[in-house]
Amino acid sequence: MLAACSQAQDGQSNNIEVSANQSGSGDAAHSIPMSGEYPVLPDGKLGRPVDWVEPHEPQLPSAATNMDAFGARYFAEYYLNLLAYSINTGNTTTLKKVSSPECKVCQSYVRKIENLDSNTDWVDSMRFKIDSFNSVELYPEESDLYLVEFLATSAPYVVYLDGELTSFEEERVLIQLDLRQANSEFTVNRFFAKERED
């Protein structure tokens, strides 16, 4: 989730709060107490919307396997979709594989997702759309590290955390990813995001 920007000491920005998954049930009976569109569970907490369906994990597009600027662009889009998927479901398996230990923000996202109670905390409708790419280029001093900068929009979404339901509005952000290529794969080495002024 993209909220107020906070700058980490290493120049990385961690401004996406994350929540984990609670498996929803699309077959809730009419006798289940409701609070708006959310079922009230026996423990008094809110469940996911009754029509919630767990999203499918994004698949790495074949274009993202090209170890060049073209591939880096497609991998950046894949990573953003994978991050949204992980936030919505709590499944960080693939996110961990494509996030370098050097990326402190990436590792922070993974920890936040994994540290939440998957039985009671959830996010609904977190997703991103890339509006445009500003640049995709190799760092001059490193032949295996790409800087990918793009403008993106996060759709409105809802977070249920520690018994509190919070709605977030659409947010427009500038994102920079450093992508390292090794063994015919990209990994994210740095993640920076800040709210756009436009």
SS3 string, 138-198, reads: ECCCCCCEEEEEEEEEECCEEEEECCEEEEECCEEEEEEEEEEEECCEEEEEEEEEEECCC
Q: Residue 198 class from Cβ within 10 Å (0-12 exposed, 13-18 middle, 19+ buried)?
A: exposed
CA distance 144 to 72: 11
Mean pLDDT, residues 19-24 taken together:
40
pLDDT of residue 94: 98
Mean pLDDT, residues 140-165 taken together:
94
pLDDT of residue 15: 44
pLDDT of residue 78: 98
Mean pLDDT of the residues in the chain: 85
Mean pLDDT is lowest, of 35-44, 56-65, 99-108, 183-192, for 35-44
Per-residue pLDDT for 19 more than 70?
Answer: no
Number of H helices, E strands in the chain: 3, 9
Per-residue pLDDT for 169 more than 70?
Answer: yes
Model pTM greater than 0.85? no
pLDDT of residue 51: 85
Q: Residue 169 class from Cβ within 10 Å (0-12 exposed, 13-18 middle, 19+ buried)?
A: exposed
Mean pLDDT is lowest, of 6-20, 59-73, 148-162, for 6-20
Mean pLDDT is lowest, of 38-52, 147-161, 170-184, for 38-52
pLDDT of residue 41: 87
pLDDT of residue 104: 97
Handedness of CA 114, 60, 100, 139 (dihedral sign): negative
Tell me which H or E stretch contains 101: none
Q: pLDDT over 70 for what percent of the chain?
A: 84
CA distance 67 to 185: 7
Q: 131-134: which pairs have CB atoms within 8 A and are 24 or more residues apart?
A: 131/172, 133/73, 134/174
Q: Which of 24, 41, 23, 43 is nearest to 32 (CA)?
A: 41
